[in-house]
Every structure is written in structure tokens, then in C-alpha cells.
Amino acid sequence: MLRNYFKVALRHLLRNKGITFINVAGLAIGMACCILIVLFIRHELGYNNFHARGKEIYRLVYDMKHSDGLVEYGTSTQFAAAPALKRELAGIKESVRVFNAREVVIAAAGEAYRQQNVLFVDQDFFNVFSFPLTAGNPATALKDPYSVVLTESTAKKYFGTVNPVGKALRVQDDYDCIVTGVVKDVPSNSDIDFDILFSFKTILQNAAKTGSNPESSWYAFSNNQTFVTLTPGTTPNSIRGELNGLVERYITPIAKTLGEQFSYQLQPLANMHLKPEGDLAPDEASTKLYLYGVIGLFIILIGCINFMNLVTARGHERAMEVGLRKVMGAERKALIVQFLVESVVICILAFMLAVLLAQLLLPGFNYVTDKTLTIFEPGNVPLLSLLLLLAVVVGLMAGSYPALYLSGFIPVRILKGGAKSAGGRSLFRKVLVVSQFSIAIALIIATVVIYSQLRYMQRKDLGFNKAGLVNFNLNNPKQAGLRPAFKAELERLPFVQSAAYTSMPPGVGFTSVNPVGLEGSKSEDSKLSVIVNADFSYFTNMGVKIAAGRDFDARFPTDSIDAFVINKKAAAILGLKNPVGSRIEWRGGPVPRKGTVIGVVEDFNMQSLRLPIEPMVAMIRPAQARMLMVRLAPGDKQQQVARIGEIWQRMMPAFPFNYRFVESEIGNEYEQEKRTGSLFGAYACLAVFIASMGLFGLAMLVARQRTKEIGIRKVLGASVSSIMTLLSKDFLQLVFIAIFIAAPIAWYAASRWLENFAFPISMPWWAFIAAGGGALLIAFVTISFQAIKAALLNPVRSLRSE
């Protein structure tokens, strides 16, 4: 019996190729989007789940309430925290520090490399985390100072096919490290990413050579994360009191002097990826994941709506078939099964096409999401099987209403020429059309808002001239003596307009935030400010405008030791109405540095426009200003940089040449918005395409149903334009309704998204007009094809069959 259902279903689908194509194509596109999004969501939810002890691992995070009421959430912890936790809290079994050095210079076989993805970790790292070694002993690989473990790819990079264990690497042209192990490459779903692991004791040993101890400071926040495991029976709540006690002993006394309140929390490793700043911080990553899921659901929903609309609209064409089957004794149950089988067959065909479409779309999707997802791999077989089952479920759900509707036809009325069913369908179909166009219009508006904000950020005046600025990193201590000479050499080049050293060029983020206060004020009255260490030409080189007072000037010897230049924001938070001449002090070092404010610069953006302009205090500190920022004249930038590279190689051959264009660095800040805009744009196009396909099919069926009416109207003198209006107006009214539904929803969602930016655009009213007008135009063009075709039909042919 079931075989007969399938034979009848296939015969019917092949007989109606046009409608079958629209149904299969619409569902396939929706399912392809769904497959990609499910792969993405599974990948995101699977972060860090490969660690055997994952449920035991927690990350130390903090929240700090400043004197102005602002709450800061973070994961960078003090070097002193890990040993203190293990030493003083009975519930802590192991503690591991993971310090991100970001980049070091490594030399091997006479070649120097600027190596990124570098971590310094404690000895228990491999005991806590599941990163399997292919060579070396995980228990002892990181036990001693100057030991290093390489990933398999990095080992091949430096040593080829030779076993690297026991070999030496020269680091920072300062010390040698011995390779003690090789670890498998880090999985793509790991938040702890590295190419090289150094023993954390290396940091301590190097510090000891200079007489310092980084574990002695409890208020120095470095790029270090602390992970712990708990003893059996211990939970984060059960040791909360002990954790607070640790804070009271070591951190609160310092925090109080700055008017701050500090606290620690333990975050489960499973939450680390979707809540990167801790469980208490704003949950943007989870929101993004939820948004992707909702969009995928909307796209497949549009495909299902099309299917339901087209099947119900074809009801009168299948009325005679239903009537004859019922007269011949077919029960309603059998008819329902028949129509459900047709629906499931369509969905299975659509799923097969969807898998191929998803594979074709995967490279673009990987670019937009910045992932390396794959479809055809053994690990995805259970997922694809589940999605196939879901396709069957979608078929049953999408076909349920049409099945019930068609099987409800009354035989006597059908055979007398009436194709009405026992219930109203027109309203339901209208609701479906409005729903799918509402989704499409909302996505179009969202895309326009995203690209408008992105365009604004890319074009906004940042308060300095970014054109032609290039950064060169001379951060290594061994380069310190060469910095003045290197700058002097570059300033002799005809295409170098200016050059200046700084600790904080635009586009790299803030690396130093310290307390600053009025001279003689209480410590708790200090305000956190961005500290810029610079040389005398910093602001001139940047093209920053002086609002009051003067810039640093080498002709004034006291500028090197007793002068500050601040921005307007710093003047405001310090309460300085007439800042020039005021005495302030920087409290970020062992001894406060006091000085006079000699100038105030206009506020300028040194970081992403998602973030507000921060108070800034600049001072002359050549030893800490290790980034050379060079302004190049208009011309061939690559040729100019190559000439600078020759000078670098001549003066500093032990260090790999490196440079970064400021404009590119700032542009990279908005990569996330670019990707989000691309994703929304793609989904908006797909939503409009699927909705238009459905509208095309619906218009075709309506035109068929009204063939007799159109013929009579033409015989009575109706024009082509009047018939087009007759067939188009109902559909266009539905699109109008969709516009009024989508607009407030899109306005609310876009407003919430713009709240993430310190410098948001005003809501672009024209986006709503453009989206609505575009939807109407697309709908009109889609409908017009069928309307014109119906209007031009010879009335004799349309009435002959009647």
C-alpha cells in the first residue's frame, strides 16, 4: 500500500513540474541555510568539550566597580593569583597560569621568525587540559625554566622532519630554550589556542635576573588567565567565602585607595567561549548564536510557508481527484496519508538538493563566520541523519494543513462543480504571505542598518590623520639602543614626512591604563586613564589638534620629566575647567610622577568606535615608547616599506622586519560588522528570493483559478491593465501589511544592536522606505509576469472549456 502511495506521489509531482520545482527549490534553499547554521551552532557549542576533565576546570574572572559607577568585567588576572589560590584555598586542587605573549622573535637554523600564538604556562598544564603529546613527557615537559613544547605544525616549520626534542631555539635574541615535547595541533574548537608553549618559570627566571618578582604584585593586570580544578565535593559556591577572603587580604587594600570594589568568580570552562568576559558580563556571543538560529528558522519557515500556500491554493485543481477517490470509497485517512507522502517526498528531494547547495555555499559561509566548517566528514554522519529525519518531520508538519484541507472536500459539491472545502483557507494563506514578506523586509532593513553603521565608522573623522601611517615594532630590549639611530635614518628618507615613538599607536588597543589624580589629592580620588608614553613629535606626527596650551617641545628640558599633555576627556574627569598649568600626578608606578599640564588635545579615537573615547594622559618616556609610527608621503607604499626594510635589515639583522599600516589595523577592527552585514545580506536575498518564488507560484495558480472570470471580463471589454490590477492588488495589499508589521520589529532590533556602539548612527529612515519599496517592486514584477500572461490569453480558449 505504501509503495502505491509513493508511485502516485511521484506521478503527481512529475505531472506538475513547475509547482514541484518551486516547492523543492524553496525548501532546499531553506534547508541548506539550516544545515549551515546547525553546523555553526554545533561548532560553537562544542568549544572546549574535548577536555577529559572539562567539568572540573574553572577560569578565574573578576568584576571591578570603579568610583564613577562603571563596572568592568575581565579575565586577565595577576601572576600572584594562581599560586595563592592553590596555597590558601583547600578546595583548589590545581592552578594553571596561561600567559599570552602574543608574539616573540625565535631563531632556528640561522633564520629569525616573528612567532605568534605563544603561551607561557605552568607545569600542570597538560595534567589539566587534554592536549596530547606525540613526543615528550607531559608531566615534566614544562617543569623547568627555558623548556618549550611545539605543536606538530610548528615543529615542522623550525626543524622539518627531524625529531625536535632536545634541540634549542633562540628566543628574543636573549636566551635559549630546549624543546622538551611535541603536542598535536590545537583543535579548531579550542579557546586556548597556541603554536608554542613555554614554561611559565621562564618568565620568573628572566625577571629574577633583573631583581624583580612578578608574583609580588596584586594590582598588575597582565594578559594572563588563571585556571583551577576543584577537589571532589567542592563547588564554586562552597569556596566563595574563601575566595572573597583572598580578595580582602591582597586586593581590597589597594582597591580602596583607588575607590574601587573588586571581586573574583569562578567560571566553568564550558561557559568560556560564549561568555568570554565572564558569566556576569554582557552576553553578546550567546545573543549572536541565538540570532543565527532564529534567522535560520525564519528562512526554512519561509520555505514551508511557500509549500503550504501553493498546495492549498491548488486545492480546486485536485478537487475532482479527491471527489472521485471519495466516491470510489477512499477514506479521509487514506487521502491524508497520500498527501503527507507527497509532502515528505518533496522534503526528501529538497534535503538531498540542500546538502549539495550547502556544500557549494560553505566557503562563503566559512568566510562570513570565520570558521573552517565541513559537511562531508565522518563526524557529521549522525548530524546529517538527524537533519534528514527533521526533513521528514518538516514534510509531515508542512503537509499536515494541506492534507487536512484537501481531504476535507465534500464529494457532492465537488462533482457539481464547487471546489470549496469545509473551512476558510483564504485568510490562512494571506497570513502566510504576510509572514514571509515580513521576515524578508525585516532582514533587508537590518542589512541596510548594519552597512550604514559600518560605512559611518569607516568614514568618520577619528580626530587624527591615519593616511600613510605605518607602525614598526621595536619592542625587544636589545633594540633599545638602536631606536634613536633607526628613527634618524628613516627621517632622512625623502618619502618619510615624520616619525615618532609611542607605546600605543592607533588600532592596537590600550595596553596601559593607570590611576591619575590631582597633585596632593587622595588616592581614592584617582581616575583611571589611558597612559601614552611618547616622544616629542607624537601628536605632530599623528595630526592631533591642540585645543589649549602647547605640545611637547624638545627645547624645554622640563618637558621630559615634569610635563603632561591630556585630552579633553581627561580634563573633564579630573574636574579641570582650566587644565593648562594644573598640577597632576601619574600613580601607575612605584613612585608617583608629578608634573604640569602643558597642553590639552582634542579627543580622538584610538580604538574601535564601538567603544567611547577614554581619558588620555601622555608623557615623555622614551624607554617605554617602543613602537615607531612613521608617516609616509603619497606614493607606492610597498616600495617605500621595502626601502625601510633594507635599513632595518642593515641595522637589526637579528630581528625579523615587521610593519603594520594603521589604516588596515583600524579597518580590521570592523571585520565582525563586515561579516555580520554579509550574513544578513545573504539571508535577506535568500528570504526575498524564496518569498518571490512562492508568490510567483501562487500568482500562477490564482490566474489559473480565475481563467473563466478573466475571459468573461475580456469579452465585456476589460483592458490588459485592468486585469493586471485585478490580479495584483490583493497581493500588493498583503505586502503593504507586511511592511507595517516588519518596520517596528526591525526598528526595535536595529536600535538594540546600535546600542553596542559608542558612536551609533541615527536610525536611517530611508532604509524602511527602501526595504518596503523594494519588496513592493519585487512583488509587483513577480506577479506581473503571470498577470500579463493571463490578461493576454484568448478569451475564447478560456471559455471553451466551460
Q: Express as a percent the part of the chain with pLDDT over 70.
A: 89
What is the number of domains present in the chain? 3
Same domain, 42 and 156: no
Average pLDDT over residues 641-655: 92
State the pTM of this model: 0.79
Mean pLDDT within 402-408: 66
Most confident of 173-187, 334-348, 387-401: 173-187
254 with 358, same domain: the answer is no
Compute the residue count for the chain.
802
pLDDT tens readout for residues 584-627: 999 877 788 999 999 999 999 888 888 888 899 999 998 889 89
Q: What is the pLDDT of residue 408?
A: 65
Overall average pLDDT of the 398-412 stretch: 66
The closest alpha carbon to 119, from 180, 187, 197, belongs to 197
SS3 420: coil
Residue 144 predicted with pLDDT over 90: yes
**Is the same domain home to 113 and 262?**
yes
Cell digits for 496? 618619510
Residue 322: per-residue pLDDT: 67
pLDDT reading at 113 higher than 70 = yes
Is the same domain home to 662 and 519?
yes
Do 397 and 338 belong together in one domain?
yes
Q: What are phi and psi of 236, to 5 degrees?
A: -55, -35
Q: Are residues 581 and 486 in the same domain?
A: yes
488 phi and psi, to 5 degrees?
A: -60, -40
| Residue 600: inside a domain | yes
Any domain includes 219: yes
| Residue 262 to residue 115: CA distance in whole angstroms | 35
Residue partners of 454: CB distance under 8 A and separation at least 6: 670, 673, 674, 677
Determine the 3-state secondary structure of 601 from DSSP: strand
Predicted local confidence at residue 327, as pLDDT: 66
**Strand 133-135 vs strand 175-183: parallel, antiparallel, or unpaired?**
antiparallel
What pLDDT does 229 receive? Answer: 95
Report the mean per-residue pLDDT for the chain: 85
* Cα gap 771→773, rounded to integer Å: 6
Among 59-63, 369-373, 699-703, the range scoring the smallest mean pLDDT is 699-703
**Taking the CA of residue 95 as centre, how many other CA atoms within 13 Å lie in the half-sphere pointing to its CB?**
21
Task: Tell me which H or E stretch contains 563.
Answer: strand 563-567
In a domain? residue 743 = no
Backbone angles phi, psi at 482, to 5 degrees: -95, -10
What's the average model confidence in pLDDT over 704-713? 75
- Between CA 241 and CA 248 the distance in angstroms is 10
Domain boundary among 363, 390, 424: 424
| Position 498, amino acid | S
3-state secondary structure 195-207: CEEEECHHHHHHH
- Of the two residues 628 and 341, the one the predictor is more confident about is 628
DSSP 575: T
Q: Which residue has the cell 469579452?
A: 715
Query: What is the per-residue pLDDT for 425?
Result: 52
pLDDT at 795: 67
Average pLDDT over residues 493-519: 83
Band of the pLDDT at 553, cuts 50, 70, 90? very high
Q: How confident is the model at residue 309 (pLDDT cuts 50, 70, 90)?
A: confident
Do the beta carbons of residue 695 and residue 779 sit within 8 Å?
A: yes
Phi, psi at 710, each rounded to 5°: -65, -40
Q: What is the pLDDT of residues 533-543, one digit of tens each?
A: 999 999 999 99
Residue 396 CB contacts under 8 Å (≥ 6 apart), including other chains: 340, 343, 344
The per-residue pLDDT for 422 is: 40
The DSSP secondary-structure symbol of 597 reads: E
| Other beta carbons less than 10 A from residue 418's beta carbon | 14
pLDDT at 221 over 70: no
Residues 416 and 543 in one domain: no
Over 60: is that where the pLDDT of 762 sits?
Answer: yes
State whether 520 and 634 are in the same domain: yes
Provide φ and ψ at 612, rounded to 5°: -75, 165
Exposure class string for 621-647: b at 16+ Cβ within 10 A, else e: beebbbbbbbbbeeeebeebbebbeee
- The amino acid present at 695, given as its one-letter code, is L
Of the two residues 40 and 3, the one the predictor is more confident about is: 40
Quick one: 78 and 173 in the same domain? yes
Higher-confidence position of 689 and 403: 689
Cα dihedral sign, 257-261-265-271: negative
* CA pair distance 598, 546, nearest whole angstrom: 11
User: Please, which residues bridge with residue 722 across strands?
Assistant: none
| Residue 65 per-residue DSSP state | E
Per-residue pLDDT at 36 exceeds 70: yes
Q: Is the pLDDT of residue 34 over 70?
A: yes
Instruction: Examine the domain organization and report whether 502 and 553 are in the same domain.
Output: yes
Q: What percent of the chain has pLDDT over 90?
A: 39
- Contacts made by residues 211-219, CB under 8 angstroms, sequence distance 24+: 214/79, 214/80, 215/79, 215/80, 215/83, 216/80, 217/78, 217/79, 217/80, 218/78, 218/80, 218/250, 218/251, 218/254, 219/78, 219/251, 219/254, 219/255
Q: Cell 560605512 appears where?
A: 455
Strand partners, 225: 98
The whole-number average pLDDT for the span 289-310 is 78
Tell me: do 508 and 404 sit in the same domain: no
- 64 forms beta bridges with 72, 262
Measured at the CA of 725, the angle between CA 716 and CA 695, to 5 degrees, comes to 125
Question: Would 463 be classed as within a structural domain?
Answer: no
Cα four-point dihedral sign 153, 156, 162, 168: negative
399 and 542 co-located in one domain: no
Q: What is the pLDDT averaged over residues 723-751?
A: 89
Q: Say yes or no to pLDDT of 304 above 50.
A: yes
**Does residue 598 form part of some domain?**
yes
Nearest CA to 224 out of 129, 95, 116 is that of 95
| Most confident range, picked from 138-147, 334-343, 509-518, 666-675 | 138-147
CA angle 278, 279, 285 (to 5 degrees): 80
Task: State residue 96's pLDDT score.
Answer: 96
Mean pLDDT of all residues in 648-676: 87
The reported pLDDT for the residue numbered 424 is: 45
Which of 396, 424, 452 corresponds to the end of one domain?
A: 424
Q: Is the pLDDT of residue 569 over 90?
A: yes
Higher per-residue pLDDT: 504 or 152:
152
Domain, as residue range, for 118: 57-272
Contact 117, 193 (CB under 8 A): yes
**Which class for 57: exposed (0-12), middle (13-18), buried (19 or more C-beta within 10 A)?**
buried
How far is residue 462's CA from residue 605's CA, in Å, rounded to a whole number?
5
- pLDDT at position 379: 76
Q: 506 or 187: which carries more pLDDT confidence? A: 187
Q: Are 583 and 518 in contact (CB under 8 A)?
A: yes
State residue 5's pLDDT score.
Answer: 63
Within-domain flag for 799: no
Query: What are 669-687's pLDDT values in tens digits?
Result: 888 788 888 888 888 888 8
pLDDT at 796: 61
Contact criterion met (CB below 8 Å) for 177 and 147 = yes
Highest mean pLDDT among 207-221, 512-526, 583-597: 583-597
Domain final residue pick, 272, 297, 319: 272
Confidence of residue 423 (pLDDT cuts 50, 70, 90): very low
Q: Is 722 within the bounds of a domain?
A: no
Dist CA 746 CA 741 (whole Å): 9
Give a yes or no: residue 21 inside a domain: yes
Q: What's the burial of 209, exposed, middle or buried (CB within 10 Å: 0-12/13-18/19+)?
A: exposed
